[in-house]
């Protein structure tokens, strides 16, 4: 897979911020689609990782005003 250009990567990061977290996907909210949604989330995570982006840090990068300001 080739690396995404900056505009496409920013778009993917933004979209990822609005995707449900894997542990929030359940049969009640997404009947009959749980496995497919989890696979889609994992695909996006993999593409972010391939492009040198930590999926767990994307939300703080895209929305810094909502970032956790923890220090340790």
- The percent of residues in the chain predicted with pLDDT above 90, rounded, is 76
pTM for this prediction: 0.81
Rounded to an integer, the average pLDDT of 10-30 is 95
In angstroms, the CA 72 to CA 56 distance is 17
pLDDT given for residue 39 in this prediction: 97
40 torsion bin: left (phi>0), alpha (psi -120 to 50), beta (else): alpha
């Amino acid at each position: 897979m080739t690396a995404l250009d900056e505009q496409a990567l920013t778009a993917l990061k933004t979209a990822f911020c609005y995707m449900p977290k894997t542990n929030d996907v359940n049969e009640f909210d997404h009947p009959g689609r749980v496995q497919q949604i989890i696979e889609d989330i994992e695909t996006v995570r993999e593409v972010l990782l391939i492009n040198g982006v930590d999926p767990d840090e994307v939300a703080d990068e895209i929305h810094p005003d909502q970032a956790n300001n923890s220090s340790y």
